[in-house]
């Protein structure tokens, strides 16, 4: 394992975050804070509690997950796409660095940024609504697993994309709608039976449900099911990345 190469790529990606602090950290925190102000404080005071939890606190896990998913994908996809765009990807591929080390470095940096952002948003949320975390270890586990999994997913998108427009296509057109429809602002138990069944085909439901359980002990699906679904998606991303580097898909052409 070439630890020096991993460290070099990782630190390079982390330094890029500090150079673009407004876009990478401040902007997502401010936009999420607006949700807390509007839904948590203004509207939340007029909505009754959900299973004994105030509405403002209830939506916090979903909003953190929304930022975590979109930022993980964006950080990882841009991190690998830009070397493709400027042509430096060939120097990386010809260097004595295995694809495992490349993935660890890029995905590790993207996941680290997302986790830092998630913690900042969590601290910001505590300023607006009363929060409690009943299962802090599970909360951290979901935070790390989700960040790593969707950073891998973003890495795949960065390899697949052949233009800057496609980098934003999946987060904006797929991930964000799935998150909003995955129980970020409501419990799926409020839906009619038919739509409850349809919603269970949304993979983001399991992430939000498991993450919310770590806060309040409430979930729309069993916590074990949420962990299994997260692990399945992580494994799928690993297998796709393995195939990409074995075949050179959109890397060597």
pLDDT tens per residue across span 74-93: 889 988 888 888 877 777 87
Kindly state the DSSP code that residue 181 receives in the 8-state scheme: T
State residue 192 phi and psi, 5-degree precision.
-60, 155
pLDDT value at residue 205? 93
pLDDT tier at 107 (50, 70, 90 boundaries)?
Answer: very high
Share of the chain above pLDDT 70, in %: 96
Return the domain boundaries, the chain: 3-247
pLDDT digits (tens, 9 = 90+) for 183-236: 888 888 888 989 889 999 999 999 999 999 999 998 889 999 999 999 999 999
State residue 133 phi and psi, 5-degree precision.
-125, 105
Q: Are 67 and 28 in contact (CB under 8 A)?
A: yes
pLDDT value at residue 163? 79
pLDDT value at residue 43? 66
How far is the C-alpha of 22 from the C-alpha of 16, rounded, in Å?
12
Q: Are 139 and 210 in contact (CB under 8 A)?
A: no
């Amino acid at each position: 394992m070439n630890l020096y190469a991993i460290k070099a790529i990782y630190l390079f990606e982390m330094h890029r975050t500090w150079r673009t602090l407004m876009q990478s950290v401040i902007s997502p925190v401010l936009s999420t804070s607006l949700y807390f102000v509007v839904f948590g404080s203004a509207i939340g005071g007029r909505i009754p509690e959900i299973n004994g939890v105030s509405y403002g606190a209830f939506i916090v896990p979903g909003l953190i997950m929304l930022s975590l998913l979109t930022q993980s994908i964006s950080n990882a996809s841009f991190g690998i796409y830009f070397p493709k765009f400027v042509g430096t990807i060939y120097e990386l591929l010809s260097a004595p660095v295995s694809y495992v080390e490349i993935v660890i470095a890029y995905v590790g940096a993207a996941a680290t940024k997302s986790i830092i952002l998630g913690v900042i948003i969590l601290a910001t949320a505590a300023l607006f609504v009363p929060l409690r975390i009943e299962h802090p270890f599970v909360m951290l586990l979901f935070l790390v697993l989700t960040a790593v999994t969707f950073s891998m997913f973003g890495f795949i998108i960065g390899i697949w994309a052949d233009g800057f427009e496609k980098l934003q296509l999946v987060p904006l057109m797929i991930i964000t709608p799935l998150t909003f429809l995955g129980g970020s602002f409501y419990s799926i138990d409020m839906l009619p039976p038919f739509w409850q069944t349809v919603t269970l085909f949304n993979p983001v439901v399991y992430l939000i449900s498991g993450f919310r359980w770590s806060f309040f002990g409430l979930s729309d699906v069993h916590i074990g099911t949420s962990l299994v679904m997260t692990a399945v998606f992580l494994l799928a991303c690993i297998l796709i990345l393995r195939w990409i580097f074995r075949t050179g898909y959109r890397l060597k052409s």
